Amino acid sequence: MPREHDFAPLESALEHQFQRRDLLVLALTHRSLGHERAVESTPLTGHDNERLEFLGDAVLGLVVSEAIFALNPDWQEGELTRVKAHLVSRKHMARVAESIALGQYLLLGKGEERTGGRRKTTLLANAMEAVLAALYLDGGYDAVRRFAERMILGETARQLAAQIQVDATLGDAKSALQEQLQAAHCGTPVYTVERETGPDHRKHYQVMLRIRRADGSLTDAVTHGVGGTKKKAEQDAAQIALERIAAAGVQTLLGVEAES
């Protein structure tokens, strides 16, 4: 676990030196460590990055929305929405986190440490949002905007802008999956909520994707998706299915139970 003075390389990657280093430390503190501290009855009971994650999600959405709105004056709402969905997605934010080696700075409980928490996509994406909130609170909107322009938009945004000209389903994995299944005469996707956790203001959903065959029967689960809303969880499941199709063909979704 890094000591406080070991965060200088991360500040360099963020291009911001924190005046309130405690904000950065809190942004890196996973709830698993907060739980262990609660068990130990320390003064830091309950301190973790979930509240910052909530703020970071909002700040990220605004920064990305403003940037693509300004850069693409000819885009309509649908195009802006689809590209934004890619740029703020869990997968992309995890990649951003990996690009600045965020995982090595995370403050984790023993259980998360043992199970490879520093490499988990969801954990990295959530921590990245929390760090953006800390950056916003300490350095203001411009500090977040500068980081976003370098690390969140950059080449990825340019590639998406080019792709959207030829791919109407960009950012809408559910529609893209349904089109591929229909073209291959493989049936239609069916999404079912498996699990719903968290308080009302911070729900997390897990969705199972199955395929309804032409004879009406359902496959076993082919993918599972997670997200802060049912729609996001369904999109996540569909995106994973599309990646499986790209790797091994559409028939891989039929009659095969996939790993979650």
Helix (H) / strand (E) element for 129: namely: helix 121-139
Are 83 and 177 members of one domain? no
63 and 91: one domain?
yes
For the chain, what is the mean pLDDT?
Answer: 83
What distance in Å separates the CA atoms of residue 256 and residue 247, rounded to the nearest whole number?
15
Q: Which of 163, 197, 223 is the last residue of a domain?
A: 163
Arithmetic mean of pLDDT, 231-253: 82
Last residue of a domain, one of 141, 163, 185: 163
CATH number of the structural domain spanning residue 75 = 1.10.1520.10
List active site positions.
57, 129
How far is the CA of 16 from the CAs of 29, 136, 138, 150, in angstroms? 19, 11, 9, 13
177 lies in the same domain as 159: no
Residue 40's pLDDT is what? 41
Q: Is residue 100 part of a domain?
A: yes
204 forms bridges with which residues in the sheet? Answer: 197
Q: How far is CA 42 from CA 10, 33, 35, in A?
A: 27, 11, 10
Q: What are phi and psi of 44, to 5 degrees?
A: -95, 15
The verdict on 111 and 193 lying in the same domain is: no
259 found inside a domain: no
Q: Give the mean model confidence (pLDDT) for residues 113-120.
A: 87
Let me know whether 75 and 129 are in one domain.
Answer: yes
Asked whether residue 245 is domain-assigned, the answer is yes
The residue written with tokens 């291959």 in the block is: 184
Domain co-membership, 48 together with 137:
yes
Domain carrying residue 195: 173-253
Q: Which of 128, 163, 198 is the last residue of a domain?
A: 163
Is 52 a domain residue?
Answer: yes
Can you count the helices (H) and strands (E) in the chain?
12, 3
Q: In the chain, how many domains are there?
A: 2
Q: Tell me: the pLDDT tens digits for 119-139?
A: 898 899 999 999 999 999 999
Residue 215 within any structural domain of the chain? yes
**Long-range contacts made by residues 112-115, C-beta under 8 angstroms, separation at least 24?**
112/30, 112/32, 112/33
Q: Is residue 114 part of a domain?
A: yes
> In this structure, are 227 and 158 located in the same domain?
no
**Which backbone phi and psi does 72 adopt, to 5 degrees?**
-130, 70
Given a contact cutoff of 8 angstroms between Cβ atoms, the answer to whether 64 and 88 are in contact is yes
Rounded Cα distance between 142 and 66, Å, is 12
Q: Can you tell me the distance from the alpha carbon of 188 to that of 212, in angstroms, rounded to the nearest whole number?
A: 5
| pLDDT tens per residue across span 192-238 | 999 998 887 778 899 999 999 888 899 999 999 998 889 889 988 98
Q: CB count, 10 Å around CB of 253?
A: 26
Torsion angles phi and psi, residue 221, rounded to 5: -60, 130
Shared-domain flag, residues 68 and 144? yes
Residue 146 and residue 15 in contact, taking contact as beta carbons nearer than 8 Å: yes
- Assess if residue 198 is contained within a domain: yes
Is residue 243 pLDDT above 60, yes or no? yes
Q: Which residues contact 86 (CB under 8 A, 6 or more apart)?
A: 92, 156, 160, 170, 171
Residues 134 and 197 reside in one and the same domain:
no
pTM beyond 0.85: the answer is no
Q: What is the 3-class SS of 183-236, one letter each residue?
A: HCCCCEEEEEEEEEECCHHHCEEEEEEEEECCCCCECCCCEEEEECCHHHHHHH
Better-predicted residue by pLDDT, 79 or 87: 87
Whether 74 maps to a domain, the answer reads: yes
- The verdict on 97 and 212 lying in the same domain is no
